[in-house]
């Protein structure tokens, strides 16, 4: 693992966990429970999958959690502008107290928002199931990227066009001040 464990941010929906590195990459996500095999496991092996959303040519990175939550905000500064990436594992509506985690929808929500200038944005989706042992099938269906392997299926709505290359999907776009891209990755 090239990333130090202290540089990984923790996301949770009280049923599973994801780890996000400082470059905007989900390096670990196990589904649908903490004890389940990973769908992204690059913290174990470079070929075990990841899901990166970030600007090109990053100059600096700052991160923090929003208001006593596990909603992560990463601010990327580039030579041409600033991008805020907000990441969270969704919780079921209305759950509180001892119900937290009940009915978890198993969704990673990501929003890339250009706060100033112009940003080149890259999305790199490389699912690898079962700790990287299973390379899934990846295809487009009605503008959505679907990946499936064994009992696991993921549905990625990227808010932008992604090109399929074997068992991965990737794309680039440009965002200007005030523009955003919302991404949702759902375990179905």
Q: What is the pLDDT of residue 104?
A: 75
Average pLDDT over residues 119-131: 97
Q: What is the pLDDT of residue 101?
A: 53
CB 182 within 8 Å of CB 159: yes
Q: What is the mean pLDDT of the chain?
A: 92
| pLDDT higher than threshold 80 for residue 29 | yes
| pLDDT higher than threshold 70 for residue 158 | yes
Tell me how far apart the alpha carbons of residues 165 and 91 are, in angstroms, rounded to a whole number.
32
Distances in Å between the Cα of 51 and the Cα atoms of 2, 38, 82, 130 are 16, 12, 21, 16
């Amino acid at each position: 693992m090239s990333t130090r464990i202290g540089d990984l941010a923790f996301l949770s929906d009280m049923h599973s966990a994801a780890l996000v590195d400082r470059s905007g990459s989900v390096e670990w996500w196990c589904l649908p429970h903490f004890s389940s095999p990973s769908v992204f496991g690059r913290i174990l092996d470079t070929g075990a999958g990841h899901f990166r959303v970030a600007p090109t040519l990053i100059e600096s990175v700052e991160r923090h959690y929003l208001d006593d939550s596990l909603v992560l905000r990463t601010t990327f500064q580039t030579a041409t502008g600033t991008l805020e990436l907000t990441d969270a594992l969704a919780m079921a509506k209305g759950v509180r107290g001892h119900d937290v985690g009940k009915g978890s929808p198993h969704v990673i929500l990501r929003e890339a928002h250009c706060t100033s200038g112009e940003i080149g944005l890259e999305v790199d989706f490389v699912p690898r199931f079962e700790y990287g042992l299973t390379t899934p099938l990846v295809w487009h269906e009605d503008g959505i990227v679907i990946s499936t392997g064994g009992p696991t299926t993921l549905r990625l709505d990227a808010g932008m066009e992604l090109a399929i290359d074997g068992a991965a999907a990737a794309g680039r776009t440009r965002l200007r001040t005030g523009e955003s891209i919302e991404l949702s990755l759902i375990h179905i």
